[in-house]
Amino acid sequence: MAWLASARWPLLATAFVLASVVAAGRLGPWEGLLAFAVVLLATAVAPRASAPAPREVGGGVKALREELSAILSGLPDPVLVLDRRGFVTVFNERARAALGEIRIGEPVSFALRAPEVLEAVRAASSAPQTVLYVERAPVERWREAHVAQTRLSPGAGVLTVVALRDLTEQRRSERMRGDFVANASHELRTPLASLLGFIETLQGPAKNDVAAREKFLEIMRAQANRMSRLIDDLLSLSRIELKAHVKPRSVVDLAELVRGVADSLQPLARERGVEIALTLAQASVRGDRDELIRVAENLIENAVKYGQSGGRVDVGVDLGAEGARLVVRDYGPGVAPEHLPRLTERFYRVDVGDSRDKGGTGLGLALVKHILQRHGGRLTIESAAGDGATFTALLEPADAPANVGQDLKRAS
């Protein structure tokens, strides 16, 4: 009866005029009453200008869907909205990218096949659900689905919102962290077990054997050194990871740095019968001096150790179109192609026993890779089994414009 309240003044005016006309005898009382009834009826059925035009039912659903779709398009995760029968009503672009073909009006089971999620959709009528599930094909993906029911307004129908979160990267890094801790513990336990064994032997059966004592103490020293190197490498890796996003800015003379490292490795090279040949052109780079020393040390030491049979290691520094390069080439057995992509993984070795015998930790090339990445550079490895190996560290020259580092990264 809101129309009656809003039309009360015109109706009162009409009643006043009609009463005056009846009083003047120009209209009979029944005619006056009839005229007022007609005006009253016309007021009741006439469209009111101030009232909003009612939404057409079909148009309303469409508009609502568009509004919902616009809101969902701003969300970073895949989201689907289902009607009360479990049919898809709205979904966002992320959902299409994650699940492939989805059609409005089709049952959710056409788009999402994981039984855990379909069960969660059924159970969401009593309480919101969260389930973890894995998609095996085309690649393994871990996802978490949150399913909850809602209504847009108190009288409206029930909608089910299915929001997905991709946990694949998180699980992968958790697994890698787990593997890393297991590997590191294993690497430390091996020399430790050997040390304990020798200590027991020296305390027991070899107590008074001078020759055995000398021999065992030498082995124990080597094992303790390996443990200490391993701990140094682990700490260096975690320090470099902590500052991975901070690019070092000091200017370093690469040729002078490499000459110093090669000199310090001459005793090892002589011991192994390897000649280190240097070809050093002037090249200054932007970097952290200590970290670049680790890069040169690891590459040249590996070439001497693993390429010993070649009898020669070429070390070059030059400045090319791509940036400053440190190239370390050996003529040893090289690396078979199937191992090449994995050499920079932590603890990856072609031959674990050989690496351990040579005092390796399995972390050298991982360190090199991380240091170069932090410098905006990269490492390339070329090798053919039986024909030696070439390790090239590419770095940003000191006088490079700001975008050269980005180019190096993009190319890697």
Rule CB under 6 A: say whether 298 interacts with ligand ADP.
yes
Phi, psi of 145 (to 5 degrees): -115, 130
Among 92, 129, 223, 361, binds ligand ADP (CB under 6 A): 361
Among 297, 306, 376, 397, which residue interacts with ligand ADP (rule: CB under 6 A)? 306
364 binding ligand ADP? (CB under 6 A): yes
How many chain residues interact with ligand ADP (CB under 6 A)?
A: 22
Give the strand pairing for 79-82 and 158-166.
Answer: antiparallel
Coil, strand or helix: which one is 136? Answer: coil
Q: Which residues ranging from 198 to 217 are in contact with ligand ADP (CB under 6 A)?
A: none
Q: Is 314 among the residues that bind ligand ADP (CB under 6 A)?
A: no
End-to-end, the C-alpha distance of the chain in Å comes to 76
Nearest CA among 370, 83, 391, 373 for reference residue 237: 370
> Is residue 302 part of the contact set for ligand ADP (CB under 6 A)?
yes
**362, 376, 397, 405: which one binds ligand ADP (CB under 6 A):** 362
Which residue in 286, 325, 349, 378 binds ligand ADP (CB under 6 A)?
Answer: 349
CB of 264 to ligand ADP, least distance (A): 17
d(CA 375, CA 186): 31
CA dist., res. 85 & res. 14, Å (int): 55
- Strand pairing category for 323-330 and 389-395: antiparallel
The answer to whether residue 365 forms part of the interface with ligand ADP (CB under 6 A) is: yes
Q: Is 343 in the site for ligand ADP (CB under 6 A)?
A: yes
3-class DSSP state for residue 19?
helix
Site stretch for ligand ADP (CB under 6 A), options 92-100, 149-157, 266-274, 298-306: 298-306
CA-derived radius of gyration, the chain: 40
We find the least distance from the C-beta atom of residue 405 to ligand ADP, in angstroms, to be: 24
350 binds ligand ADP per the rule CB under 6 A: yes
| Residues linked to residue 30 through DSSP beta bridges, in sequence order | none
Q: Work out which of 292, 389, 394, 395 binds ligand ADP, going by CB under 6 A.
A: 389
* CA dist., res. 215 & res. 219, Å (int): 7
Q: Which helix (H) or strand (E) element contains residue 185? A: helix 168-203
Residues forming the site for ligand ADP (CB under 6 A): 298, 302-303, 306-307, 330, 332, 334-335, 343, 349-351, 355, 360-366, 389
